[in-house]
Amino acid sequence: MQSIPFHIAYLLTRHECVIVPGMGAFVVSSFGGEKVNRWRILSPPEAFLGFNSEITHNDGLLSTSLAKEKKISYTEANLLIEQYVTNILQSMKEGKQVHIPWVGDLCLKDNKKLFQPEKTVSCNAFNYGLVNFSAPYLKDIQNSQQKTTSLSRKKNKEIVWIPVSRKFITYTGSIAAALALMCIIPTPLNNSHRTQYASIITLPVNNEIKEEKAISTIETEKTAAADSTLFIQKETETPPSEVTTPVKAVEFYYYIIIASLPDQASAEKTLTAFQSKGFENAAILSSGERRRIYANRFENKTEAEKALIQFRKDYPANANAWLLKN
């Protein structure tokens, strides 16, 4: 009987109405996504799960699914469902709230059956992974790109290379050398110093020294000008861009779920029991208010489905294990 809630949840992913004979029918109501003009947000299609206590006839859908999975006859499957419904109705008459895993909660109030669906029901499995997303106007995207481009241009300062000819550098160096010589040679203050001025001009040794200094000054200025030209050329070269290899992230994992519990304490206690039985890879997966225990997880869906089939064969006591994509 523990597998009956699983069959109800599984059938809700493929049918709009699943009838539990003698208790009622779970009905899936869906509507398409809508666009909110104010915020420009697109919503995916959604589905809501309800309960109708007036539909109690046996359409054979749940019985057939249970008989196929348990490998029993159709009559035996109906007996299991009847016993399951009897226990639920008795608990509701006693004032208890009955929890149907993966589906929701049922209770009896004023002789009416009230149903509260799970926060994350299984009836919207086809839409799993779809979320709301913003769809801005094209003009907003273009304005944003223009602002980004203008900012990047301000940050990147361009270095312009100005070509300078060697003749111009030589001419400039000669003028600088002549000015340097004029500063070195002293000028007379009055006629009384005429003799001293003439003696300084006629000294051959001093003239040779001055000529050597002028030549060295011109060569130094030429070297500095050439170095500045090379520096400008190096600055204009564009550094090579670094090539990075993108790392592919895992989008989904596929978990083999073997138990589902309502709180952390129960989950830890059940996890310890499973680990003591040899389930070394078992762990707890939290989803909303539920705590699920999985035996193993996989990145590939095909491998996960094969592992689930083999797991049910190896551990018949856990034949109700199912696959969760998260």
Place of tokens 């209770």: 107
Range scoring the smallest mean pLDDT among 111-120, 132-141, 287-296: 132-141
Q: Which helix (H) or strand (E) holds 305?
A: helix 301-314
Who has greater pLDDT, 67 or 154? 67
Domain definitions of the chain by residue range: 1-152, 166-235, 251-326
Residue with the two structure tokens 């699914």: 65
Round to whole Å and give the CA distance between 263 and 201: 108
Q: Map tokens 């797991």 to a residue.
A: 311
| Angle at CA of residue 44, ends 39 and 46, nearest 5° | 120
pLDDT of residue 241: 47
Look up the pTM and report it: 0.40
> Which tokens in the block code for residue 72?
């029993």
Residue 238 has pLDDT above 50, yes or no: no
Q: Give the contacts of 101 (CB within 8 A, at least 6 positions apart).
A: 5, 6, 9, 260
Distance CA 252, CA 190 (A): 99
Fold assignment, 251-326:
Alpha-Beta Plaits (3.30.70)
> Of 3.20.20.70, 1.20.1250.20, 3.30.70.250, 4.10.520.10, which CATH number belongs to 1-152?
4.10.520.10
Nearest to 102 by CA among 320, 260, 252, 288: 260
pLDDT band at 171 (very low <50, low <70, confident <90, very high): confident
Separation CA 237–CA 152 (nearest Å): 18
pLDDT, tens digit, 9 for 90 and up, residues 267-320: 888 888 888 888 888 898 887 778 888 988 898 989 989 988 998 888 888 888
CB 255 within 8 A of CB 271: no
Instruction: For residues 96 and 108, give the distance between their C-alpha atoms in angstroms, rounded to a whole number.
Output: 8
Residue 138 — very low, low, confident or very high, per pLDDT cuts 50/70/90? Answer: confident
Spell out the residues 6+ positions from residue 222 whose beta carbon is closer than 8 angstroms to its own.
166, 169, 170, 173
What pLDDT score does 66 carry?
92
